[in-house]
């Protein structure tokens, strides 16, 4: 059995401390907030299998960290060039790839995204794939909103989703409570 080694870095952000997990080839595998680590561990097990990954502290600063810091400092396109790799089903990976095509500062509805991947009736399945996205911000699930324009579920909280969307359109994001 092959064990995937994931290198962990912690990053301070205005939204709270984050964890970045990269593989030996510097592919970003997972991004989440420290306060969501239980969910991150569940996603690792679901995507790669129980006992199929091990995490070690990163021995060097990664491009993922540099790009995330640049994003939070206002270079919204810095994350667009990051190589990512993830487990998940074929459908999930298709949804996650489609998410990366939504430009910073723009949003789309679940229905629009389902239509874009030629699965117009798979809105609910798309929502579940969106919720299982392991690479927050870089695979921008926060850019998907309800058909009526309302903010809908974001696994890290609607306050973080609102902050990210405001940041991307150049508004002064509201402080998190």
Task: Spell out, as residue ranges, where the chain has pLDDT lower than 50.
Answer: none
**Domain layout of the chain by residue ranges:** 4-81, 90-169
**CA nearest 28: which of 62, 54, 73, 70?**
62
Indicate the pairing of strand 4-11 with strand 53-57.
parallel
Judge whether 141 counts as a catalytic residue.
yes
The answer to whether 157 and 165 have CB atoms below 8 angstroms apart is no
Indicate the pairing of strand 4-11 with strand 144-145.
unpaired
Q: Which fold has domain 90-169?
A: Arc Repressor Mutant, subunit A (1.10.10)
pTM: 0.92
Dump pLDDT digits (tens) for 12-21. Answer: 999 999 999 9
Average predicted confidence (pLDDT) for the chain:
92
Dump pLDDT digits (tens) for 81-94. Answer: 899 998 899 999 99
Options 4, 31, 141, 165, the catalytic residue: 141
- For residues 68-100, one letter each, b for 16 or more C-beta atoms within 10 angstroms of the residue's C-beta and e for the rest, the string is beebbeeebebbeebebebbbeeebebbbebbb
For residue 132, give the DSSP letter: T
> Both tokens of residue 78?
């810095």
């Amino acid at each position: 059995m092959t064990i995937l080694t994931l290198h962990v870095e912690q990053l301070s952000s205005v939204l709270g401390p984050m964890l970045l997990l990269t593989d030996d080839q510097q592919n970003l595998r997972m991004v989440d907030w420290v306060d969501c680590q239980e969910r991150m561990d569940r996603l690792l097990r679901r995507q790669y299998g129980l006992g199929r990954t091990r995490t070690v502290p990163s021995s060097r600063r990664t491009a993922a960290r540099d790009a995330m810091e640049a994003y939070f400092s206002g270079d919204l396109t810095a994350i667009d060039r990051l190589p990512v790799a993830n487990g998940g089903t074929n459908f999930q990976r298709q949804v996650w790839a489609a998410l990366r095509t939504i430009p910073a500062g723009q949003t789309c509805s679940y229905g629009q995204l389902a239509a874009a991947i030629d699965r117009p009736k798979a809105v609910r399945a798309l929502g579940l794939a969106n919720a299982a996205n392991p690479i927050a911000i870089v695979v921008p699930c926060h850019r998907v909103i309800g058909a009526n324009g309302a903010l809908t579920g974001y696994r890290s909280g609607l306050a973080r989703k609102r902050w990210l969307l405001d940041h991307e359109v150049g508004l002064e994001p509201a402080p998190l409570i």
